[in-house]
Amino acid sequence: MIDLVKKNVHTTEVRVRYAETDQMGVVYYSNYLVWFEIARTEFFRARGVVYRKIEEEDKIYLPVVESYCRYRAPVKYDDVVTINTELTEMGSTRIAFSYEVKVGDKVTTIGETKHAFVNASGSPIPVPEKIRSLLSNS
């Protein structure tokens, strides 16, 4: 059963580095997934969940099992992008996020990622209650 989570948003800013652009000076498409990871990690951190700790201490991992990205407008070198990350679903063993990338007030990109909670051997595990509570009560 999947619980829909009420508006649970975190905002992260990233300045576009030259290395993230292609020959045309536009951000290369795969970099958006990197930004999603940065934003998601900061979403967790802001709620008291540190990825590194849950991996090292609890041996819990959150691999991406599905991703989606829709590019609406180009982003260029030195732009400051704002990434709004929202927790959209939390099931018994999975979690989902949506992302909105903006330059100023203009939405340039939207995306989603879905993750499974797994143990060190890669087997699905229930979302730990402590993590569920920290993520959904913000």
* Residues with a known catalytic role: 22
- At 59, list the tokens: 């041996």
Q: How far is residue 124 from each of residues 28, 66, 97, 121, 129, measured CA to CA in Å?
A: 33, 15, 18, 9, 15
Residue whose structure tokens are 């732009």: 79
Say if residues 136 and 87 touch (Cβ distance below 8 Å): yes
- At 37, list the tokens: 């990871």
| One-letter amino acid of 67 | S
Helix-strand-coil split of the chain, %, nearest 5: 25, 40, 35
